[in-house]
A and B are shown apart, each in its own frame.
Chain A
């Protein structure tokens, strides 16, 4: 197990390197630069800017300098578009926000989704099952860029109970809509997966045996059925995590939370190379770590799996 973790971590380094080089090359090939503005800059000013940010160097040297500054100083450089701030500062400001609502949405999706799925499986073919399946199918395909403005309309304008956007770490009322908008579709998917895998487990031999022994139903479910039924859910968590990061772009745009999802899209569109690279590396690292975590969790629940 330990060796497995080490091996996976060892793969992470070339992965990140590949990602950095790929993104760097892609950015440098794109038309327009960070200083392409409505008014063409006088050549002298442009030359000053490019010299200051090291954009005159050959590409390999830029990549090299960039890597050195990350590895040696943990410095992702200055932002081109937000000259008052460094990339480290921008990420330090935006990431905790994304992490807060993203983390809550993740937990909500898993907890509610699993609960709903288990309930639907237990009361299979009752109105509760149909309701749960119906809702989850609908929620699964409603794009969050429809959901988000709808929530603002309902809770901010019509009922006036929640702020329509913005962010505060001290006031949970700012978190509610981002969490709902981000988690609903995953909640629905998790409910569906849990339901079908729970049904499968409940129909299996060892559960029949447990029941035959006269074990109470609640105990059967909690002690024997839940754990194996969770396996498909767990293997689904990695992809959920990745697409939640993508979904955070929509959340940031509609709720003005100041998270890093929008920072990434903006930086790609504005050619803010440094921010784009910083966010890409951050998300790449998180993805790798999270996938690792999921694998470990999987092995822990299902000891049959050996790495």
Chain B
């Protein structure tokens, strides 16, 4: 009954007008509506089915539009889907699509979505993001990916041109939240079948988003122009969007200050200085990722880490306040839970280490280590692995220094990304730096990581924990369950939580409409506008 009520509420929300920006009172629009933002690297792919990274998603979100969009608070609002209904068992979603066109003037149909989704799971297409359709629990996804079923058997079908029906394998509370990611975007079937892989070349590409591709110079810049065929084009103010690649963050900041960019990330430690100098431009908003040092508790892991007291001592004695206030200095928060503090409907367990002072924590850590038989005379020796990155480097050095006085000698082991992930996946590490970013705004996106069959590189396992998460998938009130899960993590310490991310950027003050409360920083250029200075 509650389920049905929830559904009704969602439909009601959908009946509201689509989000459209308008300049506020007293603001004058600038004559040239251009937004130039920073890309750290080249855009790897413009194919929605093949995209794997955040920078690619940022571009695809402008060139294509999925069933749902996100508003500035990260809530789901209608995209191509005008409204939807959920069956009573929570397994069937029916979407009613609006009249929208591709940039070549052809109508966007339910068939284009079916084609796009089937394409992602087709074994021959070999998408790295096929797992996402599995995460959405679309019926038969797993079997299709494994090659045991035909792609046509995937649980998605076009009832008619404007009606899309999705069947899930189990009720999935977060299903709607997954629909704003590029992997779920429609693909212009006719064009792809005509041109094959070449449809994605800059001269051929066709999208249904608010912008079309004007030019793409790989690793230099990508330029997008307002799409006149977009269904809501009359409310789109920003005319041109440019993503400019600068491979070095410090140089990017220099170029921002020279007026070449409208938005750039602030390098670690520079936020206080820039905020004092440019209070209208330096921003810091919560960003849904958590940073941790994961212990390898598998058989391959070091014996000393199997002792819970050692793990707890390490968690206690890591001085998180120094890390966030004196190293990162950008509004990040010390982490005492795996789930990011700003996640919807999540409340951290009370008590524990966050109520202690750092001195008390260190004191307790010494006791625990002494109990376990370790100390400065008989130090614990461990290797900490991190991938090449300035921030990871700074934090690892600091961690080494925090632990040393207690008799925990850390050897730092910096490897490049490919090696880091490979070793994580094969349990060839002792302790490793890791961060997880929310796929959707709910605690399970974090907590699932530590399930016995989750990504869980350290191979920690707890039956009660698995049980609680299974319950949470269909529970009415998930808050106590998630709190209990965090309590278990807190007690068993499969990792040291370090900090919760913030997005720390310089943003040109004449650019308006960028989201500040969206945990994943999902932004739409169609919501932006530039005011005259």
Contact = CB atoms under 8 A, between A and B. Distances in A.
Verify whether A and B have any Cβ pair under 8 Å.
yes
B45 A40 contact: no
A101 to B, nearest CB: 13
B251 A84 contact: no
A32 B416 CA distance: 10
A167 B258 contact: no
A269 B418 contact: yes
Given A33-B418, A269-B416, A258 B130 contact: no
Nearest to A164: B255
A258 B418 contact: no
Nearest to B201: A84
Interface in A111-163: 148-149, 152-153, 156-157, 160, 163
A256 B247 contact: yes
Contact of A164 (B258, B421, B425): B258
Contacts of A149: 248, 250-251, 254
Contacts of B134: 42
A253 B124 CA distance: 35
Given A49-B128, A164-B251, A254-B248, A44 B123 contact: yes
A157 B258 contact: yes
Most buried by A among B197, B219, B221, B423: B219
Contact of B218 (A42, A45, A83, A90): A90
B220 interface: yes
Nearest to B449: A39
Given A83-B44, A83-B50, A36 B128 contact: no
A283 interface: no
B217 interface: yes
B52 interface: yes
A39 B260 CA distance: 35
Contacts of A82: 42, 44-45, 218
The A interface, classified by DSSP as helix, strand, loop or mixed, is loop
Contacts of A263: 219
A163 B147 CA distance: 51
B455 A39 contact: yes
Contacts of B421: 32, 36-38, 40
A225 to B, nearest CB: 44
B319 interface: no
Interface string A255-266: 011100011000
Most interface-central of B127, B244, B251 (chain A CB within 10 A): B251
A167 B131 contact: no
Given A32-B418, A36-B422, A262-B219, A256 B244 contact: yes
A93 B218 CA distance: 8
Given A42-B131, A149-B250, A252-B247, A167 B418 contact: no
A31 B455 CA distance: 19
Given A45-B145, A270-B418, A167 B217 contact: yes
Contacts of B44: 81-83
B126 A84 contact: no
Contacts of B146: 44
Nearest to B253: A157
Interface size classification for chain A: 35 or more
A152 B251 contact: yes
A252 B248 CA distance: 10
B19 interface: no
Contacts of B42: 82, 258
A239 interface: no
A37 B45 contact: no
Nearest to B424: A40
A31 B417 CA distance: 10
B52 A37 contact: yes
A85 interface: yes
B46 interface: yes
Contacts of B201: 84
A298 interface: no
Contacts of B128: 35, 37, 41, 45, 49
A52 interface: yes
Nearest to A44: B146
Nearest to A167: B220
A165 B50 contact: no
Interface string B197-219: 10011000000000000000111
B255 A84 contact: no
A269 B41 CA distance: 14
B372 to A, nearest CB: 32
A164 B417 contact: no
Contacts of A205: none
A271 interface: yes
B147 A32 contact: no
B46 A84 contact: yes
6 nearest A-B residue pairs (beta carbon): A32-B418, A32-B422, A258-B219, A164-B255, A44-B146, A258-B220
9 contacts: A40-B455, A45-B128, A49-B128, A83-B44, A84-B201, A157-B257, A163-B260, A167-B220, A256-B245
Interface of A: 30-33, 35-42, 44-45, 48-49, 51-52, 81-85, 90, 93-94, 148-149, 152-153, 156-157, 160, 163-167, 252-254, 256-258, 262-263, 269-271
Given A30-B418, A44-B147, 9 more contacts: A31-B419, A36-B418, A36-B421, A38-B421, A44-B146, A45-B127, A149-B251, A153-B254, A164-B246
